[in-house]
Amino acid sequence: MTGSPAVVSPPGDPSAPVTGAAPSSRPGRRRGIPQVVLGLGGLVALVALVEVLPRIGVLPRQYFPPSSEIGSALFEQFGRSTFWQAVGDTLQGWAIGLAIAAVAGVVLGILIGSSRFARELTASTIEFLRPIPSVALIPIAVLLFGTDLESKLLLVVYAAFWQVLIQVLYGVQDIDPVAQDTARAYGLGPWARVRYLTWPTALPYVMTGLRLAAAVALILAVTSELVIGNPGLGQLLAVAQSSGAIATTYAIVVATGILGILVNVVFRAVERRTLSWHPSQRGELAV
C-alpha cells in the first residue's frame, strides 16, 4: 500500500484502448448475458463455495467459517450501536481527509501544471515523495498525534493527495495549445483562462483522481484504525481478531468491503452526472 498513484486515463481519452465493439442493432442478433447478472452470479458462486468448503473439510472450519455464520455475525453487528459508531468514525476520517487532499491536489495541480517553470522545479520532488508507502508514515503519525484523529488524517491525506495531484497535472498538460494561443489572443487573464479553458479540460482527470483517491482514502482510514488504534471499523476488526471471534472478524471484513463498494458506486454516479456533457458519458448512456 503506497502513496504512489496509478495514472488512469480519464473518460474520453483517445489514448485509452478500445475494449470492445459497439453492440449490433441488427434484428435477430442474440444478446449476451447482462453484466449485472454475471456479477451477481459470480457473487452467489463465491458465497456458495465459502459455505460448502468448510463444511466438507476442505478448509479448516475453525479458521474459515461458512458463509451462513459470517452472514449471521454481520447481521448481528448491524443491530449494535458500537458497529454504527465505528462506521461513522471511519467515514469521518475518510471524508475529512479526502476533502483536504482533493482541495490541495486540485489547487496545486493547476498552479504547478500551468507553469513550465513550476513543473520542472517540482518534478524531482514529486517523483521522490509519491512512491513513499503511506504505511511508512505510521510511526511518524503516532509520534506526532498518538491515536487522535489527526494521525488518521495524516495517512489519508498523504495517500489521497497524490492520486488527485498527478491526475490534475496530466489534465492541465492536455490543454490544446491552439486553444491556449486563442485565449491569449483574446486577452483572457489568468483567472479567465483557468475558468474557461483549464478547468473544463482538466475536469475529467479531476473526477478520475477523486474516484481513485476515495478508494485509497478508505483503505488508509481502516489501516490506521487497525494499526494505530483510531476509533473505527479497523479498531473493531482488531478487537474481534484478538478476542478470537472468527466469524465476527470475517463479518467486519465483509462490512468494509461493502462500504468500499458503496463509495465506488457513489463516486461513479457523481462522475457520470458531472461529466454528462463529455462524449464518453454520452456514448456510455447510448450503449
DSSP 146-209: TTSHHHHHHHHHHHHHHHHHHHHHHHHHTS-HHHHHHHHHTT--HHHHIIIIIHHHHHHHHHHH
pLDDT computed for residue 282 by the predictor: 54
- 197-214 pLDDT, tens digit each: 888 888 999 999 999 999
Measure the CA–CA gap between 63 and 10, rounded to whole angstroms: 42
pLDDT computed for residue 187 by the predictor: 78
Q: Residues 241, 253: contact at Cβ < 8 Å? A: no
Q: Give the three-class secondary structure for 185.
A: helix
pLDDT in 10s for each residue of the chain, 287 residues: 444 444 444 444 444 444 444 444 444 445 677 877 887 888 889 889 989 999 988 889 888 999 999 999 999 999 999 999 999 999 999 999 999 999 999 999 999 998 889 999 999 999 999 899 888 999 999 999 998 999 999 999 999 999 999 999 999 988 888 887 788 787 778 788 888 888 888 899 999 999 999 999 999 999 999 999 999 999 999 999 999 899 999 999 999 999 999 999 999 999 888 888 766 665 444 44
Q: Give the three-class secondary structure for 109.
A: helix
DSSP state of 57: T
Measure the CA–CA gap between 238 and 150, rounded to whole angstroms: 20
- 118-176 pLDDT, tens digit each: 999 999 999 999 899 888 999 999 999 998 999 999 999 999 999 999 999 999 988 88
pLDDT computed for residue 221 by the predictor: 95
Q: Please, which residues have CB within 8 angstroms of residue 269's CB and are 6 or more apart in sequence?
A: none
Q: Residues 151, 224: contact at Cβ < 8 Å? A: yes
pLDDT computed for residue 111 by the predictor: 93
Q: Residues 228, 151: contact at Cβ < 8 Å? A: yes
Return the beta strands (E) in the chain as ranges. none
pLDDT computed for residue 31 by the predictor: 65
pLDDT computed for residue 280 by the predictor: 60
pLDDT computed for residue 175 by the predictor: 83
pLDDT computed for residue 278 by the predictor: 67
